[in-house]
Structure 1
Amino acid sequence: MNALHQYLFDTYRAARLGEPMPPAPGTQDVAVLRAVRDRRRLERATADRRPRGTVRAALHRWLHPAD
């Protein structure tokens, strides 16, 4: 059973019992990724380490080490 099947079962059950509908799968993904990013930045700041920049800059450094 995948996430979509579980979501369909949950919405059916919620409709029968008069409960609020569950959120669709994937609706909170961006918020979770932002929270993880903010948490890592906070941990770096409290560990007295300099933030290293964005993911894009890190990928650029990794892909172009001679630049």
Structure 2
Amino acid sequence: MSITQQYLLDTCRARQLGTPAPPAPGTHDARVVRELREYRRFWAVLAGRPARTRLWHALRRRPHGQARPSC
């Protein structure tokens, strides 16, 4: 059974029972990713590591005056 079929089944069952419908698949994906990032930062601080992201470190390594490589 696919996720869409399961969602439709759950929606139909909720309608029959008079309960609120479940959220559509993918509704809270961005929120989950944000919370995961904050969770990892929190544990990094507790472990004594800087709570900076890998992107920040990659940008810091590149000198400001250096041109981007051409393709």
What is residue 32 of structure 2 aligned with on the other side? Answer: 32
**Correspondences of 1:1-67 after superposition (within 5 Å):** 1-53=1-53, 55-57=54-56, 61=58, 67=62
Q: TM-score, normalised by structure 1?
A: 0.76
More helix by share: 1
Counterpart secondary structure, 1:26:
coil
Counterpart secondary structure, 1:41:
helix
The structure that has the greater radius of gyration is 2
Moved over 6 A (4+): none
Q: TM-score, normalised by structure 2?
A: 0.72
Output the amino acid matched with 1:31: R
Identity %: 44
* Distance in 2 of aligned mates of 1:4 and 1:37: 27
Task: Let me know the Cα RMSD of the aligned residues.
Answer: 1.8
